[in-house]
Amino acid sequence: MASAFFERFRLLLWALAAAVIGFYVYGLLLGLYGPLELGLLSVVSLSLIVLFTIHELRLRRELREGKYHDEYAQEGHDARERRGF
């Protein structure tokens, strides 16, 4: 029970991080502000990008090495079963 809660909480945090990064980059691309105008948000966004990159690299390495492959495959299978595929 607690494990499932923390897994969902972790996914929620990554989704929020992606939203913050997305809004930040969107504003930069539209020219609404410069990176130096939002000093703290720039630092936070850059930190989140670095953390997300490290997370993805670790996940890819674990999948390539075969660690947890059965667990991920089973989760994907269970998700397809719930959707009826």
pLDDT tens-digit map of 20-56: 888 888 988 998 888 788 888 888 888 988 988 898 8
Give residue 1's pLDDT: 60
pTM summary value: 0.59
For the chain, the maximum distance between any two Cα atoms, rounded to a whole number of angstroms, is 49
3-state secondary structure of 33: coil
The angle subtended at Cα 51 by Cα 4 and Cα 9, nearest 5°, is 20
Domain boundaries, the chain: 14-83
